[in-house]
């Protein structure tokens, strides 16, 4: 079982014929993802990488039964692409694009919520169900199927944790990069609830960073309320100078919320095991699922 994505999921790619869309679609197909359609306005009726291309998401969904969309569309058009997918009835939308204007994302997220769809991103690496399928840019070779779920705001740290776990012989169930922008789709809390109900996930690694209050909210609303599975937490940005924005657009501290200290305290109060390094995260996750290894993150 998996959350959100499986090898049976029918995936379309918005922006398939562009440079980034073509490259990452090829990687997605190589991993086993069932890519059934691409969408590039004006190029309908053509083929790219052996995948039929349509002018609109509605056409692609009607002809192929696509249910998941991966968006590799330039920032000025990405919010419209998100809303087009939601309007066409796509249930899961994964937007990789960074730099989408804030107001555009306010409108897009509201539209997605009204449509009853799920959005991952934007400005994210996407997700992968290890050994089954991926939508996004997480490297294929670092994933190993297993029982540790990962949810993260940082793409780079997502890769580091996945690779560290795999090197230690600890497999993953699903890895989800929710993105680092101020306006996002699925939150930490929402992904954690999916992991809570997933029998294939026995422990969860949660990778946060300074800025915003999403980590604190997840700790209070989900982890601290009979989550029932070990949660290993890591917060990046602890050494950021006070008052200085670091990293993602969402890494903005306001008052006493959003600081590394407040997030660490919230996670500890909720019962999560908080780690100081990626090596500690790997070791803790392995121990949580009964696969301790001295090979962790060599």
Catalytic residues: 248
From the CB of residue 252, how many other CB atoms can be counted at a distance below 10 Å? Answer: 13
Q: Give CA–CA dist 18/24, Å, rounded.
A: 10
168: left (phi over 0), alpha (psi -120 to 50) or beta: alpha
Q: Is 28 exposed, middle or buried (0-12, 13-18, 19+ CB in 10 A)?
A: buried
DSSP letter for 140, please: G
- The answer to whether residues 146 and 129 touch, using CB atoms and an 8 Å cutoff, is no
- The answer to whether residues 71 and 81 touch, using CB atoms and an 8 Å cutoff, is yes
The answer, yes or no, to whether the previous bond of 122 is cis (omega within 30 of 0) is: yes
Residue with token string 């930490």: 188
Tokens of 284: 């803790």
The CA distances from residue 192 to 70, 122, 220, 223, 232, in Å, are: 22, 18, 12, 8, 12
The DSSP-derived string for 208-247 is EESSSSHHHHHIIIIITTT--S-EEEEEE-TTPPTT---S
């Amino acid at each position: 079982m998996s959350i959100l994505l499986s090898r049976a999921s029918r995936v379309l790619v918005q922006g398939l014929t562009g440079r980034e869309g073509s490259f990452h679609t090829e990687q997605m197909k190589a991993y086993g993802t069932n890519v059934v359609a691409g969408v590039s306005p004006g190029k309908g009726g053509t083929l790219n990488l052996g995948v039929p291309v349509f002018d609109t998401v509605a056409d692609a969904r009607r002809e192929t039964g696509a249910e998941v969309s991966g968006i590799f569309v330039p920032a000025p058009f990405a919010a419209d692409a998100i809303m087009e997918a939601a309007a066409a009835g796509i249930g899961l939308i994964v937007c990789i694009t960074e730099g989408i204007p804030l107001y555009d994302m306010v409108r897009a997220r509201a539209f997605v919520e009204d449509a009853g769809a799920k959005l991952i991103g934007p400005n994210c690496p996407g997700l992968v169900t290890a050994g089954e399928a991926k939508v996004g840019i997480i490297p294929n070779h670092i994933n190993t199927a297993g029982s540790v779920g990962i949810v993260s705001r940082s793409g780079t740290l997502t890769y580091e944790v996945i690779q560290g776990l795999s090197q230690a012989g600890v497999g993953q169930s699903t890895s989800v990069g929710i993105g680092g922008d101020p306006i996002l789709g699925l939150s930490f809390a929402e992904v954690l609830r999916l992991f809570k109900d997933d029998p294939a996930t026995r422990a969860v690694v949660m990778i946060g960073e300074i800025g915003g209050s999403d980590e604190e909210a997840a700790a209070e609303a989900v982890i601290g309320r009979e989550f029932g599975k070990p949660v290993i937490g890591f917060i990046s940005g602890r050494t950021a100078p006070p008052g200085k924005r670091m990293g993602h657009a969402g890494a903005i501290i306001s008052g006493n919320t959003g600081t590394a200290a407040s997030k660490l305290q919230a996670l500890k109060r909720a019962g999560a095991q908080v780690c100081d390094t990626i090596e500690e995260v790997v070791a803790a996750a392995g121990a949580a699922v009964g696969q301790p290894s001295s090979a962790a993150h060599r």
